[in-house]
Amino acid sequence: MPETAPLRSAFYISDSTAITAETLGHSLLTQFEGVHFRQLRIPFVNSAEKAREAASRIEQAAREDGSRPIVFTTLVEPELNRILRGSPGFCISLFETFIAPLEAELGVKSTHTIGRSHSFNDNSDYQDRLEAINFALAHDDGVTMSGLDEANVILVGVSRCGKTPTSIYLAMQFGIKAANYPLIPEDFERGHLPDGLERFRQRMFGLTIQPERLQKIRNERRPNSRYAALDNCRYEVAEAERLMRREGIRWLDSSTKSIEEISTTIMQEIQLERNSF
């Protein structure tokens, strides 16, 4: 980004966490490469007073930047949206834009309830998600085989290929119970999966990684170690792929994929549905 790139402020404003407004707004802004955005989230704007406070922060940013801030809102209350539209911001009201057409299509009035999407629900959905997070932590890095029959998926692969963050993301975002199990030299020498693990083969999914990238990641953790040496990374990756091929375990290369892409691909490949929202 050159220093001379124009600066624009972008606000994400909601009566709840503003995570939805931020997710879509940020996604839209990534389409504009030549502009540098200063992004600010203003959550819990659930009264006229807080909306006026937000409006004056927008006004201040407009003065400082010398340009109109972009404002993404998921406010349900028309009155609060009206207050923000009175500011100098360029307002994109996500709910106002789509709620009316959806009401017409569904033939149902919306409830106009604030903060439904990321709010606390003492329901089984939310409990499932917390339970999945606990499950991922309890079944990280092959800590235990007990309870593995509850796993929706068991990720396997060499150390540092992305199993742990993927397991946690699957739990956090989708309520999926993901265990993960490292493939280590003992597995390669034995030539097959550990005995307790074999019966779960159908639920396994492998991650592999380019040896050069693995070397870089391991080297940050244990600089100049045998563990991080390129020839060792090459050996482990080749052996892990050989083992997975022999065992009929599907896998993907995580080297150039985000946690979101890895998780989404796994769900698609083994037809996992999300367990919670």
Please list every residue from 163 through 222 that binds a copy of itself, using CB under 8 A: 164-165, 168-169, 172-173
56 labeled binding residue: no
Are 81 and 62 a contacting pair, CB within 8 Å? Answer: no
How many whole angstroms separate alpha carbon 176 and alpha carbon 173?
Answer: 8
153 labeled binding residue: no
**Single-letter code of the amino acid located at 240:** A
Q: What is the DSSP string of 118-147?
A: SS---SHHHHHHHHHHHHHHHTGGG---TT
* Residues facing residue 154 across a β-bridge: 179, 204
Please provide residue 206's backbone torsions phi and psi, each rounded to the nearest 5 degrees: -100, 150
Residue whose CB is less far from a copy of itself, 65 or 247: 65
How many whole angstroms separate alpha carbon 183 and alpha carbon 4?
Answer: 49
Residue that the structure tokens 């779960």 belong to:
200
Residue whose CB is less far from a copy of itself, 30 or 202: 30
265 labeled binding residue: no
229 binds a copy of itself (CB under 8 A): no
163 labeled binding residue: yes
158 labeled binding residue: yes
Are 9 and 38 a contacting pair, CB within 8 Å? Answer: yes
Question: What does DSSP say about strands 204-208 and 178-182: parallel, antiparallel, or unpaired?
Answer: unpaired
Least separation in angstroms between CB 98 and a copy of itself:
6
120 binds a copy of itself (CB under 8 A): yes
Residue whose CB is less far from a copy of itself, 47 or 246: 47
Binding mask 122-151 for a copy of itself (x = CB under 8 A): x---x---x--x---x--x-----------
Count of residues that bind a copy of itself according to CB under 8 A: 73
Binding mask 234-263 for a copy of itself (x = CB under 8 A): ----------------------xxxxxx-x
Are 9 and 71 a contacting pair, CB within 8 Å? Answer: no
Residues 36-75 that bind a copy of itself (CB under 8 A): 41, 43-44, 68, 70, 74
27 binds a copy of itself (CB under 8 A): yes
SS3 93: strand
Residue whose CB is less far from a copy of itself, 223 or 248: 223
Are 188 and 232 a contacting pair, CB within 8 Å? Answer: no
161 labeled binding residue: yes
Within a 13 Å sphere around the CA of 149, how many CA atoms are in the beta-carbon half? 3
User: Which residues contribute to the annotated binding site for ADP?
Assistant: 157-164
User: Which residues contribute to the annotated binding site?
Assistant: 157-164
